[in-house]
Amino acid sequence: MSNAFFRNRWLPFWLASPQLLVMFLFFYLPVFLAFFWAFHLERPFGGGSQFVGWANFQRVLADQEFWAALRRTVVYMLLASGSSILVALILALAADRAVRLSPLARNLLIWPKAVAIASVGVIFLFIFNPFLGVLAPLNEVFPGIWNPRINPLHTWIMIYIANIWSAIPFTFIILLTGLQAIPETLHKAAAMDGAGPWRRLRDIQLPLLTPQLFVAVVLEVADSLSGSFGLIDTMTQGGPGGATNMLVYKIYVDGFKAYDLSGAATQTAMLMVVVAGITALQYLFLEKRVKYER
Amino acid sequence: MTKATRAAGISLAELTKSYDGADVIPELTAELVGGQFTVILGPSGCGKSTLLNMIAGLERVSGGTIRFGEREVQDLEPKHRGCAMVFQNYALYPHMSVFRNIAYSLKVAGLSKAEQRERVGRVAKMLGLTDLLDRRPGQLSGGQRQRVAIGRAIVREPSVLLFDEPLSNLDAQLRHDMRIELAELHRRIGATTVFVTHDQVEAMTLADRILVLNQGRIEQFDAPREIYHRPASVFVAQFIGAPPMNILSVTGNGTGLRVPGGPLLVRSPRRGDFRLGIRPEDITLSAGEPLPDGIPVTPVHREDLGSHNVVTVRLDGGAKLRVTMPFGSSLDENSDLFISLPRHRLHLFEPESGRAIRNAFEDQKARKEEYV
Amino acid sequence: MIENARSIDRTATVLLLLGSVFVLLPLAFVAITATQSYGDFLRNNFSLLPGTHFWDNVAAVWSLTDLPRQIMNSVIVAALVSGGKCFLAFTTAYAVVFFRTRYVPLVYAAVVASIMLPIELRVITVYQVASNLALPVNAAANTGGLWAVLFGAPLDLQLNALDSYAGIALPLMAQGAGTLILVQFFKTLPRDLARAATMDGAGPLRFMADVLLPLSKGPLLSLFIYFFIGGWVDYMWPLVAASSPEMQTAVVGLARLGPGMEEDIPNYPLEMTGAIMVTVIPLVLIALTQRRIVRGLALSEK
């Protein structure tokens, strides 16, 4: 069952070579360099590198702020992907029913995909502005009840809502496509077997949706991580008081503001290992369970 | 048959179904005898699946009543109707093992694990699925999947068993085997069975009675032989039989019926337009000397199907007829050909409605005795 | 559908309504704010009534900020990224699916592995590479001090791609999702296509150009639109790759708009007008081509 037919020796290589060159320059070389600099220090005043062993790691691991940022990052990846998948799943289940609003909603719910995560940050920062935004009237009645500039809890709520808003479309599309691929007759068969709508949701829809849920989890975990930069950079710059300083943002600040190439590279290397490890775990433990023949 | 009397009949009274103002089933009344095997036969789009879904409770009725025995069920949900269904594409749950597929309805009904095992085991044994219970549907062949689908339906011991074109996805040989198995199964469990198909062979071989449906209306609801030998309409006549019945538009002038511009086909005092039907196998074709009442024809085409030949001939005036000849009968196609149409095998239909005119020829009563 | 599901359908409708409102409300706030003058805004703060100053605000953004030029940059960068990704994905996917050569699965694995680590994770060292594309050449030539021995000094080529369209676009292309999607699509094509083309006397390249490319028009167009929007909304890499406002993309420009304004209370009407201007092109694209994009994406997880 394969389309593989041609047997040329070098032609496929030449065909793939532009892609491979781009991959080499901007993916594999940077990944290598991240690990290279994690074990080297830049010589001051330009000019080469110096091998320093695990010194960079010792420095980074001794930094309380690194651990705090790592913890925030992991918690954020879990909560942000979890919350956005849950919202998208509920909406996809609703849109899967042939109600009159469904076609319109299916179009509308994709719109946030067009808004850059950084623009989402700009927009929600304004909307949640304690004195000028939507909740300003509330603040006039109960002063200080809402202030994401000072209260980290409020800041996080603001970030999560912005993230959910931004993450709905992709997960929604994936899950809705999966739901619609479930044959109508399976619903009918289950109804004949005596299963009501909720029972069917539990016994038929959700189990058959696991492949799409898996894809959604893998992609959303990665997306929440990369998207966190756009939100943090535009909304909080890590504040208030460093409460929302996550690893991707911290690496950016360390690398581009503090010019600490080796420190930033060391943290990058560790983050890469964490992310690659999470992805590998997902594939090892989850993927096998969600595969079946339709 | 004690089991047959236990199974409730299905009465459909003034049943209607419309989608967005379009009538799929204008109004339908029928009495399905308990324990019998009823086949709903019709071309695609005739409303037969809609009818089945309404009996199952998968679609709401627009009007009318459905009764299982004395129970009015048209407003009940499927699970409260006590019927089970086998679907065209099996509709097995791909994420469950064969065991769990069959046991699912029992599990939903809250039966104990032990009881589930007991009943699934019994059904699996009956269908030869015992060794496959741990497999997933994806690992089964078409015939095996079909068996699982049947097992899932009968495990609940339903009083009404519904089939929605269950054999259409199988290859010819398997379809034949399953047909025999289904007939056997029906004898054993004796549930009131409704079987939807567009395949006349399935209908003829399986049914106690066939309900022929066309555009949501019942054309005829009768035993297979009646359907074949006494079709109630042109539609039924042409839908059943391979090749189908020949239908000629004829005119009566008081002495006989003839195709406009063609020879006399049959003597009859009737006047006006009619449609005359005769099955290909009822026509006698002969060469050389004309038979009494022989009608001269020209051969057009001949198909050799091994067991028999189908010869297409043309009457003067252009009308064509198909004639079946048994294997071995030879015909000198260069000599003059004649056909004769046995009076008692002719069918006469009204020109507009296509309804059959019963006993159209005085000596036709004999026909019924002949096949009974 | 089946049983009396009116209450469930009602729940579904309510949920969809809530979802739609949740998606639309922020956009509505943006639109309303963009119609108010700064003066109105200072007096009324947040308002639910649209004003009349939208075009004044647009004119102000147009003349006072770099956004017009930056929107142009976004069009160029997004088109480059998207066109590049489609081209790279097409030739690679063709090589992966239609050739029986032994190293091909390795190529595929190398490309698809890149999906795992988004550019936001590698930005530090991608920056280093982009600031001197000759880095690997230098490194190779100077291995063991060879070049220095031969020519007296270590090779030190400089090829800085930062602050250029190519420098912004190329690193964004290093992502294998397009290849993955096209590979899935090619696998759904009839098996005998390549055989038939060979019988007709077409070689592999001809087959690619005359058969595969026309067949892939639909998926490629979906991918192009999808990647175009993706390139438009990228933030972190364009932010670090372009240091001057003239080379920044619109999304970066918008995020940098706030601090540039001197008032105590930010001129939110102007900022929200900018947000609309930055978002309108991808938003219109997505609203109009929603079906196509969804269909294209659906290919990816078959």
CA gap B338, A51 in Å, rounded? 108
Strand partners, B303: B310
pLDDT at A288: 65
Note whether C118 contacts A222, CB cutoff 8 Å.
yes
Task: Provide the CATH topology of domain C65-300.
Answer: MetI-like fold (1.10.3720)
Cis check: omega of the bond before A240, within 30 degrees of 0: yes
Note whether A26 contacts C98, CB cutoff 8 Å.
no
Chain C, 140 to 169: residues with Cβ < 8 Å from chain A are none
pLDDT at C151: 80
* Cβ-proximal residues to A201 (8 Å cutoff; 6+ apart), any chain: A93
Q: State the SS3 of B215-242.
A: CCEEEEEECHHHHHHCCCEHHHHHHCCC
Residue A44 pLDDT grade (very low, low, confident, very high; cuts 50, 70, 90)? low
The two tokens of residue B288 are 């050389």
Q: How many CB atoms lie within 10 A of CB B70?
A: 8
Please choose, from the candidates A272, A270, A170, the residue with its C-alpha nearest in 3D space to the C-alpha of residue A219. Answer: A170
pLDDT at A184 over 90: no
Q: How many CB atoms lie within 10 A of CB C162?
A: 15
pLDDT at B4: 40
Residues of C in contact with B77 (CB under 8 A): 2-4
pLDDT at C1: 44
pLDDT at B362: 62
Residue among C5, C91, C100 whose CB faces A197 most closely: C5
Residues A251-284 as b or e (16 or more Cβ within 10 Å = b): bbebbbeeebbbbbbbbbbbbbebbeebbeeeee
Note whether C4 contacts B58, CB cutoff 8 Å.
no
Show the low-confidence residues of chain C (pLDDT under 70). 1-5, 45-46, 258-264, 296-302
Residues of C in contact with A263 (CB under 8 A): none
Query: What three-state secondary structure class fits C220?
Result: helix
A48 interfaces chain B, CB cutoff of 8 Å: no
B191 φ, ψ (degrees, to nearest 5): -75, 155
> For chain C, what are the domain ranges?
1-64, 65-300
The two tokens of residue A128 are 């949640």
CA R_g for chain A: 24
Please choose, from the candidates A34, A221, A16, A30, the residue with its C-alpha nearest in 3D space to the C-alpha of residue C110. Answer: A16
The two tokens of residue B264 are 């006399």
Residue among B77, B95, B153 whose CB faces A208 most closely: B95
Please choose, from the candidates C75, C33, C249, C48, the residue with its C-alpha nearest in 3D space to the C-alpha of residue A119. Answer: C249
Q: Touching A: which chains, 3+ CB pairs < 8 A?
A: B, C
Closest chain B residue to the Cα of A188, Cα to Cα: B58
DSSP structure class, residue C50: -
In this structure, are residues A115 and A169 in contact, taking their beta carbons and an 8 Å threshold? no
CA gap B54, B73 in Å, rounded? 10
Gap from A183 CA to chain B (nearest CA, Å): 8
Residues of B in contact with A209 (CB under 8 A): none
pLDDT at C8: 84
In this structure, are residues A195 and B152 in contact, taking their beta carbons and an 8 Å threshold? no
DSSP structure class, residue B363: T
Helix (H) / strand (E) containing B214: strand B209-214
pLDDT at B367: 53
Gap from B19 CA to chain A (nearest CA, Å): 15
In this structure, are residues C224 and A38 in contact, taking their beta carbons and an 8 Å threshold? no
CA gap B347, B233 in Å, rounded? 9
CA gap B45, B214 in Å, rounded? 9
Note whether B78 contacts C2, CB cutoff 8 Å.
yes
> pLDDT tens across B4-36, in order?
446 789 999 999 998 887 888 988 999 999 889
Q: At what angle do helices B48-56 and A184-192 cross, to 10 degrees?
A: 40
CA gap C26, C154 in Å, rounded? 57
The two tokens of residue C199 are 């019988």
In this structure, are residues C172 and C79 in contact, taking their beta carbons and an 8 Å threshold? no
- The full DSSP string for chain A is -----B--SSHHHHHHHHHHHHHIIIIIHHHHHHHHHHTEEEPTTSS-EEE-TTHHHHHHHT-HHHHHHHHHHHHHHHHHHHHHHHHHHHHHHHHHS--TTHHHHHHHTTGGGGS-HHHHHHHHHHHT-TTTSTTHHHHHHSTTS--TTT-HHHHHHHHHHHHHHHHHHHHHHHHHHHHHTS-HHHHHHHHHTT--HHHHIIIIIHHHHHHHHHHHHHHHHHHHHHHHHHHHHHHTTT-STTTT--HHHHHHIIIIIS--HHHHHHHHHHHHHHHHHHHHHIIIIIIHHH----
Note whether C116 contacts A108, CB cutoff 8 Å.
no
Note whether A109 contacts C20, CB cutoff 8 Å.
yes
For B167, B238, B311, C28, the CA distances from B198, given in Å and listed in that order, are: 11, 13, 26, 55
Beta B83-86 vs B160-164: how paired, if at all? parallel
Note whether A94 contacts C11, CB cutoff 8 Å.
yes
Best mutation target among B92, B93, B119, B162 (most A Cβ atoms within 10 Å) is: B93
pLDDT at C298: 60
Residue among A194, A196, A204 whose CB faces B109 most closely: A194
pLDDT at C42: 77
Note whether B57 contacts C2, CB cutoff 8 Å.
yes
In this structure, are residues B46 and B216 in contact, taking their beta carbons and an 8 Å threshold? yes
* pLDDT, averaged in runs of 10, over chain B (372 residues): 61 89 88 92 89 89 90 86 87 90 90 93 91 91 90 89 88 88 89 92 92 92 92 92 89 86 84 91 81 82 85 87 81 78 88 86 56 46
CA gap B149, A192 in Å, rounded? 12
Please choose, from the candidates C166, C129, C168, the residue with its C-alpha nearest in 3D space to the C-alpha of residue C250. Answer: C168
Which domains can be identified in chain A, with CATH numbers? 63-289 (1.10.3720.10)
Gap from C92 CA to chain A (nearest CA, Å): 4
Note whether A187 contacts C88, CB cutoff 8 Å.
no
Closest chain A residue to the Cα of B80, Cα to Cα: A194
Helix (H) / strand (E) containing B40: strand B37-41
Note whether B57 contacts C4, CB cutoff 8 Å.
no
CA gap A156, C88 in Å, rounded? 39
CA gap B34, A59 in Å, rounded? 85
Please choose, from the candidates B25, A42, B132, the residue with its C-alpha nearest in 3D space to the C-alpha of residue C125. Answer: A42
The two tokens of residue A127 are 């909307």
Gap from C58 CA to chain A (nearest CA, Å): 17
ipTM of the modeled complex: 0.88
Gap from A184 CA to chain B (nearest CA, Å): 9
Beta B63-68 vs B10-19: how paired, if at all? antiparallel
Beta B83-86 vs B256-258: how paired, if at all? unpaired
C12 interfaces chain A, CB cutoff of 8 Å: yes
Please choose, from the candidates B226, B236, B215, B211, the residue with its C-alpha nearest in 3D space to the C-alpha of residue B349. Answer: B236
pTM, 2 dp: 0.82
Closest chain B residue to the Cα of C4, Cα to Cα: B77
> pLDDT tens across A64-117, in order?
999 999 999 999 999 999 999 999 999 999 999 888 888 899 889 999 999 999
Gap from C8 CA to chain B (nearest CA, Å): 15
Residues of A in contact with C187 (CB under 8 A): 2-3
